[in-house]
Structure 1
Amino acid sequence: MHYGNILTPEGWRLGEIHWCDGRIARIDGAPVDPADNDAPYIVPGFIDLHVHGGGGADTMEGGEAVTTLARTHARFGTTSLLATTMTATDAEIRHVLGEIGSLMEQPPGKGARILGVHLEGPYINPGKLGAQPPYARPGEIAEIDALCDLAPIRLVTLAPELSGHYALMRHLSERGVRVQLGHTLGTYEQGVAAMEHGACGFTHLYNAMTGLHHRHPGMVGAALAHADFAELIPDLLHVHPGAIRVALRSIPRLYAVTDSTAAAGMPDGEYRLGEQAVTKCLGGVRLADGTLAGSTLTMDQALRNLVEVGLSLAEASARVSRHPADFLGLPERGRLADGCYADVVVLDRELAVDCVYVEGQCVAGEDPEDAPTTRPGDET
């Protein structure tokens, strides 16, 4: 149970949220404007669909490293995530998927729930690698089916212009796997065609894709003109606030991701991103040549940055919780309502994380279950 300003699908309510057996049992309270009180904010847990690492650990290390990144990001309000792989050899990808598949059979413990895998590469354009290692190649249906047998792949990033990828998109869509366009040199027309073949999102919008020009709209133009969903890294380093505003006006369910690396939650220094060496300094992560290589962003900071850009807290919350849940087709996550998973973040009035619950279990902060609750009007 927690008392505060609770963000429900119908709006803010001042009252108590109760859960049992990992699910929300009921929400008590009356509609409220949070500006009229100083109680904490209670919002849906954050959902990160693009996260490579954290706490010094990288997804491509598999096993315990994935557990470490899940625990690290839980401290910052992420209650569920997709473990995101890098472009690598077939043997490396198969190995890490096997370990993630085994890990997902275990309870989340003190970390975020791992919902599955985001396969970012190797099916991308070798001319638009960004910080990806040089193992890009076209994908084949038989290969992706074999990978799906190792772990639940929920999302795949593809470059639509590579040979055979329209057929691959149709196949993945029929399997229930979401397809995003990214790390691409594709044209506007190829982006539109890809969406007609089953693609439904864009990977870190603006980054590692052909940009918008008034005579050559590029992949960014396809996203802005046609997308319902797209992910974006709101660290205010990957994308200018003005470009974020453009995307917010154009893409109804734009959602935030961290694209974070092992450096997230860690001091400045040297870290790994797949097989690449990266350096964290000045708030960013870069390769030796200065190329941005993922981020150090956490989802609580993403929320605060969206508020800084001009969104209300309720709207910013949708971009870090409800929209990514809807993109994956998860109606029981990303919102606070009866019967939904008790994935809950308690924020103080400065939007700093106070407590985090994953399926009703406290994974960060102090659980006040047995502590007395003080409400406005209570005697002291």
Structure 2
Amino acid sequence: MRTTLTDARLVTPGGVHDGWITIEDGRITHIGRGRAPGDGLALGGRLVVPGFVDMHTHGGAGGSFPSGDQEEARRVAAFHARHGTTTIMASLVTAAPEAIARATAALAELCDDGVLAGIHFEGPYIARSRCGAHDPALLRAPDPAELTGLLAAGRGHVRMVTLAPELPGGSDTVRAAVAGGALAALGHSDAGYEQALDAIDAGCTVATHLFNALPPLHHRDPGPMAALLQDPRVTVEIINDGVHVHPAMLRLAATVAGPDRTALITDAMAAAGMGDGTYRLGSMDVTVSGGAARLVQGGAIAGSTLTMDVAFRRAVREVGLTVPAAAEMAALTPARALGLADRVGSLAVGKHADLVVLTDDLAVHAVMRRGGWVTPP
């Protein structure tokens, strides 16, 4: 099937230009400037950005990836797709190894089906002092052999592992993650500046939700964030919901690391798309009030209710980034970090026809995934 979208403002790595785009068999086959050579579906001058890539998501629409329930996982992916996320990672939380293995095996089948882009282990190898919404009773010391077994349950679909590398066994577990085909991410960690540099040298290439669950920047004790922001090997995640970080902090990351190393994420949990109330995140009870999710016990921030369209819109309106920069951070940068940039992340010939049509106020007008309309224009 051939579809041509005309009268559009296309956001490509080269900037924004008026033009048209043709899709055949789920892929982009032509991108042109100006008036299309034939008829097509006119978009009325609306912006077209690449489909968003969320590399850190726990749930949404009342469903949760950590449950390992496939129907819930499909519901989560469908919900986020309606908000423009056409490539989504399933993030798990700290749990007993056998529970992680069960959920991983179930979700790997959805990776086989193309519903999910991969699986992310956030925990259990994280610092108790920075565990946030993770159950401290289930935390474990980093164990390379155990991790290798958990990776095997994913049959190659585990793409990222978040851990605290300063813990005993941390560096070896970083190397085990990388050897097993996953990205190693520094997060929920009390690592110092030098320890962070050592972790990066060992193979850490992602900072899990930078500024959250990490020691703060200090002029005499720069901590891990200075190392993560400055090292060109590292992609830094930011939860741009206005709760986790001040807009100035995203502006700082985008200035220091650049849009090519700063990835917008949601870290969304089951309450995304739902109302205020009580929900579960792994084994923990979470209360959502005014859209902010916090643990019932202790009040720590417990994921978010964010969607990627909102994160993108805030990046432009609240942070002051350009539309191309925000699009890069919401799509191409995470795709590049995950090793998927040859298929998704930008409007380019040969890539999957994953795109989001936006109104003038940057609201979602339509979403296409793999050449089919999730939400038609």
TM-score w.r.t. length of structure 2: 0.91
Q: Is residue 28 of structure 1 aligned with residue 32 of structure 2?
A: yes
Deviation per residue, 1:241-271 (Å, 9 max, x gap): 1222211111121110000010001111111
Deviation per residue, 1:346-368 (Å, 9 max, x gap): 1111111111111111112x25x
Look up the match of 1:212: 217
State the SS of the aligned residue for 1:83: strand
Residue 101 of structure 1: CA displacement? Answer: 1.1
1:319 to 296, 317, 329: 329
The separation in 2 between residues aligned to 1:225 and 1:23, in whole angstroms, is 36
State the SS of the aligned residue for 2:91: strand
Q: Is residue 53 of structure 1 aligned with residue 63 of structure 2?
A: no
Alpha carbon RMSD of aligned pairs, Å? 1.6
1:290 to 299, 309, 316: 299
State the SS of the aligned residue for 1:50: coil
Deviation per residue, 1:1-31 (Å, 9 max, x gap): 3221111222223222111111111112249
The separation in 1 between residues aligned to 2:151 and 2:181, in whole angstroms, is 11
Residue 221 of structure 1: CA displacement? Answer: 2.1
The separation in 1 between residues aligned to 2:280 and 2:25, in whole angstroms, is 38
The separation in 1 between residues aligned to 2:108 and 2:153, in whole angstroms, is 6
- What letter corresponds to residue 51 of structure 1 in structure 2? T
- What letter corresponds to residue 133 of structure 1 in structure 2? D
Look up the match of 1:235: 241
| Identity fraction in percent | 40
Residue 316 of structure 1: CA displacement? Answer: 0.5
- Equivalent residues of 1:346, 1:353 under 8 A apart: yes
Look up the match of 1:125: 127
Deviation per residue, 1:277-330 (Å, 9 max, x gap): 111111211112321110001000000110021101111100000000111121
Residue 107 of structure 1: CA displacement? Answer: 4.8
The separation in 2 between residues aligned to 1:107 and 1:218, in whole angstroms, is 39
Look up the match of 1:170: 175
Q: Which moved more, 1:292-301 or 1:58-67?
A: 58-67
Look up the match of 1:10: 14
- Equivalent residues of 1:13, 1:29 under 8 A apart: yes
Pairing of 1:95-244 with structure 2 (within 5 A): 95-108=102-115, 114-134=116-136, 135-151=138-154, 152-227=157-232, 228-244=234-250
Look up the match of 1:370: none
The separation in 1 between residues aligned to 2:118 and 2:112, in whole angstroms, is 11
Look up the match of 2:40: none
- What letter corresponds to residue 230 of structure 1 in structure 2? V
State the SS of the aligned residue for 1:102: helix
The separation in 1 between residues aligned to 2:55 and 2:246, in whole angstroms, is 21
- Equivalent residues of 1:126, 1:137 under 8 A apart: no
Query: Across the two proteins, how many residue pairs are aligned to each other?
Result: 356
The separation in 2 between residues aligned to 1:172 and 1:106, in whole angstroms, is 24
The separation in 2 between residues aligned to 1:355 and 1:38, in whole angstroms, is 13
Look up the match of 2:309: 300
1:41 to 26, 47, 50: 47
Structure 1 alignment gaps of length 5 or more:
32-36, 109-113, 368-380
The separation in 1 between residues aligned to 2:370 and 2:276, in whole angstroms, is 33
Deviation per residue, 1:182-220 (Å, 9 max, x gap): 001111110011001111111000100111111111112
